[in-house]
Amino acid sequence: MIHAPWDSAELAAVVTSTGDTVLLRGGVTYSSSSVPTTLFSPSGVTLGMRGTGDRPVISGGLVNSAWTYDAPNSVYASAPYATNVLGNVTEDGVPMKFVAWNTDIATTAAAMSSGQSLPAWSGSMTFNPTTRVLYVRPSSGLASQHVYVASAVAGTTSGIVSSATSSNMLIEDISLRSISRHGILIYNKLNPIIRNVELLCIGGAKPSTLYMGNGIELSVGIRGAQVLNCLAADIFDSGFTSQLYEGTAAVAGDHYYEKNIVRRFGMHGIELSVQTANQTLHDIEINGLQAEDAGTYSWAGNRNGAAVTCLSNAINSSRVSRAFARDVVGSRMYRLYMGYQHGGVCGIEDSKATGTWGQAPISSANGALSQRDLHRNVMDN
């Protein structure tokens, strides 16, 4: 069956069966809160585009035009948001520089800048998760002279989420924008394919000290995944991830990334990681990656990432093994490759970094788990 929802209300009402296709209208924006979490519960479901022209957009953005001027701190304050979950904010379509909340507005405002560094950032923003108030410092002039969009749609934090066990899902030819957490987050899938997808302005400020947001995250139970010809730009955390952080032992693997592009990101271009104990991530292949600006100009800032990172934060019990990248080109990178405590055999070849900002590939062993990082024909700056 083919579903062709005309707007967000019709998309929210879609109920899929095995083998169904959902086609969104080119050039139309759908609210991220209208994407059913059951969309990919059946196997063989395709989400794509109907017609030609501009891609359909799934957006978590809300326009904010009501501001109160805080003269002592030279910032503008919003009315309280419904929840303490708020991601990135754009000014006239450009991400605002993110400043983490620090005690009070006076202290935080001291770190907020105006001006622009196009296309990377314009003005600056911060968010108080206790009062749920957004503060902006415009790039120029008054707040009323600009259009501000905050990724703050109620009831959703990620754009597309599916945790049901199913197979052969396909997402293609769509754009996800202004999402407060992850663009696409999937679990428990066999042979999912994500191709020709844009992920723009993803992630940002979260409650307390937690800040996150990946373009695409493949998590527990994902086998045989393919991520092909996708663009992730202006991402708070990592462009693409194969990541495990379960409370019990978990496995994922056999992931393939080909000809993807990441521009302006805060952490990693492609992150292959395990965050908790007794996790295994294995057999990941990266074939072709353009990674541009890991923090020099991005709105998220530099957080010590790399174009490709293989890491474990659970010494002695978790590992990333047999993860290899080739044909990686990095520009304005902190480093091209980082093998941090992954406890397996990983590496990079036929890759290079250009420019003046960078460090050589690094490795850091994972306690009792032996580790090897293989570098062949790698030219770093």
Looking at residue 369, the DSSP 8-state letter turns out to be B
Tell me the mean pLDDT in the region 101-105.
Answer: 92
Tell me the mean pLDDT in the region 271-289.
Answer: 96
Q: Which two tokens stand for residue 110?
A: 């001291």
Question: For residue 380, what pLDDT band results from cuts at 50, 70 and 90?
Answer: confident
Angle at alpha carbon of residue 341, lines to 318 and 260, rounded to 5°:
90
Greater confidence (154 vs 173) lies with 173
As a whole-number percent, the residues of the chain with pLDDT over 70 amount to 97
Cα–Cα distance measured from residue 81 to residue 117, given in angstroms and rounded to the nearest whole number: 28
Cα–Cα distance measured from residue 18 to residue 44, given in angstroms and rounded to the nearest whole number: 6
Please answer whether residues 120 and 96 qualify as being in contact, where contact means their C-beta atoms are separated by less than 8 angstroms.
Answer: no
- The predicted pLDDT at position 49 comes to 97
Angle at alpha carbon of residue 271, lines to 308 and 346, rounded to 5°:
60
Question: For residue 303, what pLDDT band results from cuts at 50, 70 and 90?
Answer: confident
Cα–Cα distance measured from residue 36 to residue 339, given in angstroms and rounded to the nearest whole number: 37
Please answer whether residues 8 and 31 qualify as being in contact, where contact means their C-beta atoms are separated by less than 8 angstroms.
Answer: yes
Looking at residue 2, the DSSP 8-state letter turns out to be E
pLDDT at 3 over 90: yes
- The predicted pLDDT at position 246 comes to 92
Looking at residue 80, the DSSP 8-state letter turns out to be P
Report helix, strand or coil for 191: coil
**pLDDT tens digit sequence for 210-260:** 557 999 999 999 999 999 999 999 999 999 999 999 999 999 999 999 999
pLDDT at 206 over 90: no
- Give how far Cα 290 sits from Cα of 109, 120, 134, 315, Å: 35, 17, 33, 30
Greater confidence (254 vs 381) lies with 254
**pLDDT tens digit sequence for 304-346:** 889 999 999 999 999 999 999 999 999 988 889 999 999 999 9
- The predicted pLDDT at position 155 comes to 64
- The predicted pLDDT at position 209 comes to 54
Q: What's the pTM value of the predicted model, to 2 decimals?
A: 0.94
Q: For residue 18, report the phi and psi dihedrals to the nearest 5 degrees.
A: -55, 130
Question: For residue 152, what pLDDT band results from cuts at 50, 70 and 90?
Answer: confident
- The predicted pLDDT at position 208 comes to 53
